[in-house]
Structure 1
Amino acid sequence: MPARIALVSTRHLDTPDVDEELLLPLLPEAQIAYWDDPDTDWAAYELVILRSTWNYTEHLSEFLAWATRVSQVTRLVNPVEIVEWNTDKRYLADLAERGIPIVSTTFVAPGEEITPDAVAGHVVVKPSVGAGSKGAKLFDGQPEEARAHAAALHNDGATVMIQPYQKAVDEQGETALIFLGGRFSHAARKAAILSRDMSWSTGLYADEKVVPTEATPEELELAERIVAELPDLAYTRVDLLPSDNGPVVLELELTEPSLFLALHPQAPATAAAAFRALLV
């Protein structure tokens, strides 16, 4: 029987995605397919689920064009409208306008001026389109170096994000809350990456130290508030940082997030059931 579901990855992923390895035995209706394989017949699938398409940041226009084509012949999840919005972190400004607390962020497009205040102190400078901390650097009282990194990103055509470093992350880490089929499933604690040496064993994203955790009531309340304002999605990952005023959003992962299924015994089955329920 032909596969009804495509779990979409990339041909250039050197290390298999752990989530997919856990999902496939529980989801016999599915198989791996590659967004950057021009020979794939996407119309042959009833459901196309974005998963480990982690090289899209280097080919964003091609990726979005591909997602649009797929959405015209079958069901793509998460949907292309969400993907178009979520693949550029300028969506954080949209969240802030809705009253969602975010990490304070200054966006500077190529050709725009970077003010001295923006790069003063302990700051993170990174592109607004990126994954796995690629292109992100930490500067502490190094405004000229921060400007130089921003200029290099601008030269590549990137809009730059400048954020004050949240020092509490060094002790408390970053919390990722995973929702499957619109319901909270589990949470993960991610250690700080930028303040320590990074490795790139996958070739596409920085290696992360991730462990299971319990979300605090404040973290869960904020994440559920965000999910309630979104359309029904197959999966949502809300990444939060601690601050003096409570949790704040670092990222809202709706396109190709790691779901950290290995961290909770029921998570793979929950994900498989949520994805199977999307078949009509």
Structure 2
Amino acid sequence: MRHVALLVPAEWDPQFYELDATRDMLAKAGIAIEPVKWDAVDDDVLRRVDGVLPLIAWGYHLDPGRWFDLLDRIAFRRVPIANPVNVLRWSSDKSYLSDLEQKGVAIVPSIFGHGEEGDALLARARQTWGDVELIVKPVISGSADGTYRLERGEAMPDGLSERRLIVQPFLPSILHAGEQSLIYFGGSYSHAAVKRAKPGDFRVQPEFGGSEEQIEPSAAVRALADAALACAPGDTAYARVDIVMHGDTPCIMELELVEPDLFLRYAPDGGSAFASAIAAMLSASA
């Protein structure tokens, strides 16, 4: 068995997380997982494990300096990891959306700036898209942390002045069509789900009352997800491509390659492709 450190949140409490299904899936591929808090991974851990799996490293955005330092140490010690370090670094900062757009992949319209610009940044967005509702969030964020929906004419929220930001028009389709998530293992499509916000909210995450159900995405959505994943700076063992509709056009919301919910309960093969892709990448980088 390959002994692998499964990165988990800094506030990890095993009583509130169910790992049995994931543990069993990976065990069938010869992988034994040990939950390790991502911000507590030291050189002793990296010396004794056969690989690293950052699949539950939730909260890394709260201390990005420590997160990027960990990735540097994993790369320096050449510890096998899925996904690769360069892919994780790229996906940890939503500036990658600019890379996708430059390569012709449709993204949710986005303007990048710094919180110090304040209302000037919002004015630039409104000059571009008109006096519409806006979404403002940090480029390094997760679980809707620091994400705001701004009404027409509303000012920049407090607390964002020290952060790099992304500003986007609010897309009403999120309220009725939801956000589609397409799951890939080893670069191949596996399954998909749609995430929906609870009535009165726009955030689809379960901690805000969001729900999800399995779907079969359209050919156009599949093609967009394929194109987005092809832009990643390396191979991926696992990936989630989040897509929303902008009118009749599907657009990339995010390309999640660090610690996404993979909705393994919907995997048509019971998770065997997931486990095989993880094992193959760890073996290839050993």
Deviation (angstroms), 1:272: 1.4
Q: SS state of the match for residue 111, structure 1?
A: helix
Instruction: Summarize the alignment of residues 108-257 of structure 1 with structure 2, pairs less than 5 Å apart.
Output: 108-112=113-117, 113-118=120-125, 120-144=131-155, 147=156, 149=157, 151-154=158-161, 157-192=162-197, 196=201, 206=208, 208-230=210-232, 231-257=234-260
Q: How many residues align?
A: 269
Alignment partner of 1:106 out of 84, 98, 111: 111
| Long gaps (5+) in structure 2 | none
Deviation (angstroms), 1:258: 1.1
| Long gaps (5+) in structure 1 | none
C-alpha distance in structure 2 between counterparts of 1:187 and 1:196, whole Å: 22
Q: SS state of the match for residue 152, structure 1?
A: coil
Query: Which TM-score applies when normalising by structure 2?
Result: 0.85
Identify if the C-alpha distance between structure 1 residues 279 and 93 changes in structure 2 by more than 3 Å, giving closer, same or farther: closer
2:266 paired with 1:263: yes
Percent identity over paired residues: 27
Higher deviation after alignment, 116-125 or 238-247: 116-125
Identify if the C-alpha distance between structure 1 residues 95 and 62 changes in structure 2 by more than 3 Å, giving closer, same or farther: same
Q: SS state of the match for residue 43, structure 1?
A: helix
Deviation (angstroms), 1:175: 0.3
Higher deviation after alignment, 93-102 or 69-78: 69-78
2:67 paired with 1:56: no
> Hey, which bits of structure 1, 4+ residues long, moved more than 6 A?
197-201
Query: Which TM-score applies when normalising by structure 1?
Result: 0.87
Identify if the C-alpha distance between structure 1 residues 190 and 197 changes in structure 2 by more than 3 Å, giving closer, same or farther: closer
Q: Which amino acid aligns with 1:127?
A: P
Deviation (angstroms), 1:224: 1.1
Report the RMSD for the aligned CA atoms in angstroms: 2.4
Q: SS state of the match for residue 89, structure 1?
A: coil
Identify if the C-alpha distance between structure 1 residues 35 and 41 changes in structure 2 by more than 3 Å, giving closer, same or farther: same
Q: Which amino acid aligns with 1:153?
A: L
